[in-house]
């Protein structure tokens, strides 16, 4: 370390700090099958829980007969709502201010709802016992359409009857949950009334599901001797889960230890609290034994955490030249049987009010009505920040619809409406302050990279060829410029269940100059152990390889709100940098003491403090670390550690330009992605390799959603897409190669300028794919067609346009 022959650049490279594509430390375990996921946990005497679920979408539960199940050898207990009621646990609060049945309390509201919880010695016996529980149902009329639900006499939530005030204001109907309004209603309507051009469209973003490859699950273990409950589980927010468990179970919070082990993907599915967790905790308390519950895939798709299901009615006003003057949106949000959306408390429709997108729209209005239906609860942010994907899809479709109305090129329409670089920080009409951006630069770079002009010429030729009968394939060019809003969020306006959405990092430097850092977040594949160590390495000059990262154990990690909504880097990443800077500040004093100069006379130099003007006189961080533990330094406590709880001053606003070139077979509806270009600006880039990987994965999830993935119901409320046969997840065969690119516009308010990237590719990808489908048919008169664009729906577009002769 004291080798003075090394240049500062060489010393910096040795740290493997920010900006380098450091290989992931997690992978050594994962590649040899040594991950530790929740279903890998096995404890002495562990029991297994399994659910009896409703086959009906809406029914009264007349009776539950447990006898035959209890008679099966190996069955320990069968719990119903009646058993949980004395504990007050037959219902639980949701993250959205509603409540949800843990086990069916007299009725069921969606297919797959939890009716009884069987506890047995192993999962085979539990499954056999589930079959033996006899439940008598009386079917009720089913409502699967939110518009119909708002008119229907059928009362879904009888428990709320007569309650005209909900968690988010007045309820207009017994199946209505809330109305949320933002912006200037009168002003927007006035602009629409006087506009030269108005385009109007209904944009539906269908119901889908995050479907991580690992389903949800937990192991609850109540130690009756110590009175301590340990709860292992697939939790994207372990600390919040601890608080929730404490609040609803009455167990003191210090007697609960929540541990998120390795998580096999989350994508929003693992943010909420599910009946499986509550029942497992109860079962462990009752039996005194550890109880494991692991969803199967059908249960996962049917019951935990759907996403989207937004009907977005839009009107967009512009001048004849294409300058947008106003945006109006009314959304009907299908929330299913219980409002269990995972949004910050003050935002019942998440950050849907980012729906003015990348455009300088002076006047706007948004209203969202939440509605109960006979579908599963959820409404999670599936690889996006709260409802941002819906917002981005909405505006990127409305732009295309407006371009059609104006007979303009959609790339040019975007360009003339972008917020200019000199307008940042930019106040949006719907209340956000965009931190930074340079949209025109990104856009021009993207168009140039794909050869946009030539693509349009090729497309025009293709249309001619098609009309001349020379080809049956059309070419679609899908454009998107998205602006994300992530990093929730400032405690002043962001909380979940009253918990402010700050995050945290604690760093301890060991005497020999290695370190451990603990965070309030939890990785589900993002590579936190790799990237957060890089932040620390750059901030305090110790090699990333010497820094251990730990997350997910509430007994050891500082309190934080967890990982979702691309908040880890913007919030916990900032906390990490701030904690590291506290350490560096103390290290400066130690160095000055050791070098016998004033604090102000030393300066930071990559991995050391050196005397100003005398760089040969220095102390490395390693030396300083040791000194922190063996020197009695006047006025300084021994040791070298720090903790930071970071309350971000603002959200961050990553953005990007995505272009998809798609070939479409008019006769079969089959498609092929010929080219996909993704330019992301996520501010400062911590690990380019990981950023690129996040983009690949996020765009692929977007591909799935746009081109076929849905949770579909029939009119009886039966889930039609309950296995991976029908729930579309593309394989390596259907997935294209992507070209990634970037610009760098740092966030001015983030300590290291980083904005977060995990969810941008989903937010930008969905409209890029969908716009490509629409664009292919635009020359034949298509304006709007709903996702998912699976083969038959694409075929239906072609058929409706008379392209089948």
CB atoms within 10 A of CB 42: 9
Q: Which residue of 202, 460, 724, 744 would you call a contact of other proteins, by CB under 8 A?
A: 724
179: enclosing H helix or E strand: strand 176-183
Q: Determine, following the binding rule CB under 8 A, whether residue 721 of this chain makes contact with other proteins.
A: yes
Q: Which residue of 23, 173, 228, 617 would you call a contact of other proteins, by CB under 8 A?
A: 23
Closest of 381, 112, 421, 361 to residue 237, by C-alpha: 381
Q: Determine, following the binding rule CB under 8 A, whether residue 144 of this chain makes contact with other proteins.
A: no
Q: Determine, following the binding rule CB under 8 A, whether residue 692 of this chain makes contact with other proteins.
A: yes
617 is catalytic: no
Stretch that binds other proteins, among 88-96, 463-471, 610-618, 717-725 (CB under 8 A): 717-725
Q: Determine, following the binding rule CB under 8 A, whether residue 716 of this chain makes contact with other proteins.
A: no
Q: Determine, following the binding rule CB under 8 A, whether residue 799 of this chain makes contact with other proteins.
A: yes
Q: Restricting to residues 397-416, which ones interact with other proteins according to CB under 8 A? A: none
Q: Determine, following the binding rule CB under 8 A, whether residue 674 of this chain makes contact with other proteins.
A: no
- What is the rounded distance in angstroms from the CA atom of residue 90 to the CA atom of residue 247? 14
CA gyration radius, the chain:
28
Question: Of the residues 236, 459, 588, 675, which is catalytic?
Answer: 236
Stretch that binds other proteins, among 102-110, 199-207, 695-703, 767-775 (CB under 8 A): 695-703
Q: Restricting to residues 186-225, which ones interact with other proteins according to CB under 8 A? A: 211-215
Q: Restricting to residues 296-315, which ones interact with other proteins according to CB under 8 A? A: 296-298
Angstrom CA distances, 287 to 13, 228, 309, 616, stand at 55, 14, 40, 67
User: Alpha helices of 40-122 — where are they, by DSSP H?
Assistant: 67-71, 81-84
Q: Restricting to residues 237-266, which ones interact with other proteins according to CB under 8 A? A: 262-265
Q: Restricting to residues 26-85, which ones interact with other proteins according to CB under 8 A? A: 26-35, 37, 39-40, 42
Q: Which is nearer to other proteins, 213 or 460 (CB)?
A: 213
Contact predicate 579/644, CB 8 Å: yes
Q: Restricting to residues 648-667, which ones interact with other proteins according to CB under 8 A? A: 667
- Say what angle helices 760-777 and 388-406 make with each other, to 10 degrees: 30
Q: Restricting to residues 262-281, which ones interact with other proteins according to CB under 8 A? A: 262-265, 267
Angstrom CA distances, 54 to 58, 197, 363, stand at 9, 50, 47
Q: Cβ of residue 367: shortest distance to other proteins, in angstroms?
A: 34
Q: Determine, following the binding rule CB under 8 A, whether residue 124 of this chain makes contact with other proteins.
A: yes
Question: Of the residues 171, 257, 383, 584, which is catalytic?
Answer: 383
Q: Cβ of residue 44: shortest distance to other proteins, in angstroms?
A: 13
User: Alpha helices of 72-141 — where are they, by DSSP H?
Assistant: 81-84, 123-132
Q: Restricting to residues 456-515, which ones interact with other proteins according to CB under 8 A? A: none
- Supply the DSSP string of 373-413, one letter for each residue: -SS--EEE-TTSSTTHHHHHHHHHHHHHHHHHHHT--HHHH
Q: Restricting to residues 696-715, which ones interact with other proteins according to CB under 8 A? A: 696-701, 708, 712
Q: With H, G, I as helix, E, B as strand and everything else as coil, classify residue 230.
A: strand
Q: Restricting to residues 339-368, which ones interact with other proteins according to CB under 8 A? A: none
Structure tokens belonging to residue 492: 């002043």
- Residues forming a β-bridge with 35: none
Q: With H, G, I as helix, E, B as strand and everything else as coil, classify residue 74.
A: coil
Cα–chain center distance at 155 = 32
Q: Which is nearer to other proteins, 151 or 720 (CB)?
A: 720
Closest of 801, 767, 797 to residue 676, by C-alpha: 767
Structure tokens belonging to residue 651: 């959200």
Q: Which is nearer to other proteins, 31 or 427 (CB)?
A: 31
The separation between the first and the last C-alpha atoms of the chain, rounded to the nearest angstrom, is 76
Q: Which is nearer to other proteins, 511 or 693 (CB)?
A: 693
Q: Determine, following the binding rule CB under 8 A, whether residue 396 of this chain makes contact with other proteins.
A: no
Q: Cβ of residue 137: shortest distance to other proteins, in angstroms?
A: 18
DSSP 451: T
Q: Determine, following the binding rule CB under 8 A, whether residue 525 of this chain makes contact with other proteins.
A: yes
454: enclosing H helix or E strand: helix 452-467
Q: Determine, following the binding rule CB under 8 A, whether residue 690 of this chain makes contact with other proteins.
A: yes
236 is catalytic: yes
Q: Cβ of residue 721: shortest distance to other proteins, in angstroms?
A: 7
Contact predicate 620/610, CB 8 Å: no
Q: Cβ of residue 456: shortest distance to other proteins, in angstroms?
A: 27
Question: Of the residues 211, 329, 341, 384, which is catalytic?
Answer: 384
783 class by beta-carbon count within 10 Å (0-12 exposed, 13-18 middle, 19+ buried): middle
Q: Restricting to residues 775-794, which ones interact with other proteins according to CB under 8 A? A: 790-792
Q: Cβ of residue 719: shortest distance to other proteins, in angstroms?
A: 11
Q: Which is nearer to other proteins, 420 or 796 (CB)?
A: 796
Q: Supply φ then ψ for residue 359, to 5 degrees.
A: -115, 145
Structure tokens belonging to residue 330: 């009314």
Closest of 648, 695, 651 to residue 436, by C-alpha: 651
Structure tokens belonging to residue 424: 């940042």
Q: Determine, following the binding rule CB under 8 A, whether residue 117 of this chain makes contact with other proteins.
A: no
384 is catalytic: yes
Closest of 414, 398, 49 to residue 221, by C-alpha: 49
- What is the rounded distance in angstroms from the CA atom of residue 11 to the CA atom of residue 618? 14
Q: Which is nearer to other proteins, 367 or 711 (CB)?
A: 711
Using alpha carbons only, give the angle 248, 249, 251 rounded to the nearest 5 degrees: 125
Stretch that binds other proteins, among 121-129, 578-586, 602-610, 639-647 (CB under 8 A): 121-129
Q: How many residues make contact with other proteins (CB under 8 A)?
A: 81
Q: Which is nearer to other proteins, 28 or 744 (CB)?
A: 28
Q: Cβ of residue 525: shortest distance to other proteins, in angstroms?
A: 3
Q: Which residue of 373, 526, 743, 771 would you call a contact of other proteins, by CB under 8 A?
A: 526
- What is the rounded distance in angstroms from the CA atom of residue 710 to the CA atom of residue 339? 20
Q: Cβ of residue 296: shortest distance to other proteins, in angstroms?
A: 5
- What is the rounded distance in angstroms from the CA atom of residue 624 to the CA atom of residue 619? 6
Q: Which residue of 459, 524, 534, 568 would you call a contact of other proteins, by CB under 8 A?
A: 524
Q: Which residue of 467, 492, 612, 720 would you call a contact of other proteins, by CB under 8 A?
A: 720
759 is catalytic: yes
- Token pair 């920080």 is at which residue? 425
Stretch that binds other proteins, among 58-66, 248-256, 590-598, 730-738 (CB under 8 A): 730-738
Q: Cβ of residue 573: shortest distance to other proteins, in angstroms?
A: 18
Q: Determine, following the binding rule CB under 8 A, whether residue 731 of this chain makes contact with other proteins.
A: yes
CB atoms within 10 A of CB 418: 21
Share in percent of the chain as helix, strand, coil (round to 5): 30, 25, 40
Q: Cβ of residue 665: shortest distance to other proteins, in angstroms?
A: 9
Q: Which is nearer to other proteins, 263 or 577 (CB)?
A: 263
Contact predicate 89/249, CB 8 Å: yes
Q: Which is nearer to other proteins, 698 or 717 (CB)?
A: 698
What is the set of active-site residues?
236, 383-384, 759
């Amino acid at each position: 370390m004291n080798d003075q022959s090394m240049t500062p650049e060489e010393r910096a490279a040795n740290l493997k700090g920010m900006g380098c594509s450091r290989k992931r430390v997690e992978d050594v375990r994962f590649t040899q099958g040594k991950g530790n996921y929740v279903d890998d946990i096995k404890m002495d005497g562990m029991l297994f829980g399994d659910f009896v679920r409703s086959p009906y979408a809406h029914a009264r539960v007349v009776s539950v007969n447990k006898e035959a199940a209890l008679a099966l050898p190996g069955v320990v207990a069968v719990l119903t709502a009646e058993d949980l009621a004395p504990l007050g646990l037959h219902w639980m609060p949701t993250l959205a201010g509603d409540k949800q049945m843990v086990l069916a309390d007299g009725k069921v509201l969606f297919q797959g709802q939890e009716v009884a919880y069987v506890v047995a010695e192993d999962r085979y016996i539990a499954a056999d016992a589930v079959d033996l529980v006899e439940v008598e149902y009386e079917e009720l009329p089913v409502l699967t359409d939110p518009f119909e639900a708002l008119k229907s006499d059928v009362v879904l939530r009888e428990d709320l009857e007569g309650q005209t005030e909900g968690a988010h204001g007045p309820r207009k109907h017994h199946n209505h949950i809330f109305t949320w309004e933002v912006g200037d209603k009168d002003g927007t309507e006035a602009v629409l009334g006087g506009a030269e051009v108005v385009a109007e469209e209904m944009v539906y973003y269908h119901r889908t599901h995050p479907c991580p490859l690992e389903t949800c699950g937990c192991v609850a273990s109540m130690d009756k001797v110590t009175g301590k409950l340990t709860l292992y589980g697939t939790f994207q927010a372990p600390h919040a889960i601890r608080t929730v468990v404490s609040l609803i179970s009455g167990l003191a919070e210090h007697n609960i230890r929540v541990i998120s082990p390795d998580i096999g993907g989350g994508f929003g599915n693992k943010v909420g609290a599910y009946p499986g967790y509550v029942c497992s905790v109860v079962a462990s308390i009752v039996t005194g034994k550890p109880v494991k519950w692991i969803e199967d895939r059908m249960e996962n798709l049917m019951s935990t955490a759907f996403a989207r299901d937004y009907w977005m009615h839009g009107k967009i006003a512009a001048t004849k030249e294409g300058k947008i003057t106003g945006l109006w949106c009314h959304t009907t949000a299908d929330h299913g049987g219980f409002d269990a959306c995972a949004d910050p408390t003050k935002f019942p429709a998440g950050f849907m009010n980012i729906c003015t997108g990348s455009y300088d729209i002076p006047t706007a209005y948004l209203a969202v009505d939440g509605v109960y239906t006979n579908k599963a609860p959820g409404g999670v942010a599936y690889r996006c920040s709260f409802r941002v994907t819906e917002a981005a899809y909405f505006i990127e479709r409305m732009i295309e619809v407006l371009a059609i109305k104006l007979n303009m090129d959609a790339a040019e329409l975007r360009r003339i409406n972008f917020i200019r670089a000199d307008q940042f920080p930019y106040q949006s009409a719907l209340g956000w302050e965009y931190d930074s951006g340079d949209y025109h630069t990104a856009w021009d770079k993207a168009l140039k990279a794909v050869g946009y002009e030539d693509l349009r010429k090729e497309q025009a030729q293709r249309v001619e060829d098609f009309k001349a009968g020379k080809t049956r394939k059309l070419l679609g060019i899908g454009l998107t410029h998205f602006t994300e809003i992530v990093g929730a969020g400032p405690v002043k306006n962001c909380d979940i269940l009253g918990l402010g959405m700050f995050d945290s990092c604690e760093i301890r430097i060991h005497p020999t100059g290695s370190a451990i850092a603990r965070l309030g977040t939890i990785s589900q594949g993002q590579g936190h152990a790799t990237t957060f160590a890089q932040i620390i390495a750059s901030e305090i000059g110790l090699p990333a390889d010497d820094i251990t990262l730990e997350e997910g154990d509430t007994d050891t990690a500082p309190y934080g709100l967890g990982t979702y909504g691309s908040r880890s880097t913007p919030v916990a990443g900032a906390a990490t940098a701030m904690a590291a800077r506290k350490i560096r500040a103390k290290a400066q004093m130690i160095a000055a003491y050791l070098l016998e100069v004033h604090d102000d006379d030393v300066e930071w130099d990559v991995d050391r403090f050196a005397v100003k003007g005398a760089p040969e006189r220095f102390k490395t961080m390693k030396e300083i670390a040791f000194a922190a533990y063996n020197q009695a330094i006047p006025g300084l406590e021994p040791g070298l550690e720090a903790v930071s709880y970071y309350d971000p001053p603002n959200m961050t606003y990553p953005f990007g330009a995505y272009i998809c070139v798609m070939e479409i077979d008019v006769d079969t509806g089959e498609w092929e992605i010929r080219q996909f270009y993704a330019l992301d600006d996520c501010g400062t880039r911590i690990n380019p390799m990981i950023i690129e990987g996040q983009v690949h994965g996020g765009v692929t999830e977007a591909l799935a959603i746009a081109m076929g993935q849905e949770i579909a119901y029939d009119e009886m409320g039966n889930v039609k897409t309950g296995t991976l046969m029908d729930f579309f997840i593309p394989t390596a065969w259907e997935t294209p190669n992507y070209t990634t690119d970037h610009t760098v516009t740092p966030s001015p308010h983030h300590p290291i300028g980083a904005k977060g990237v995990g969810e941008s590719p989903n937010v930008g990808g969905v409209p890029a794919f969908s716009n490509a489908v629409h664009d292919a048919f635009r020359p034949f008169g298509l304006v709007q067609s709903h996702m998912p664009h699976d083969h038959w729906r694409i075929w239906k577009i072609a058929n409706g346009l008379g392209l089948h002769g």
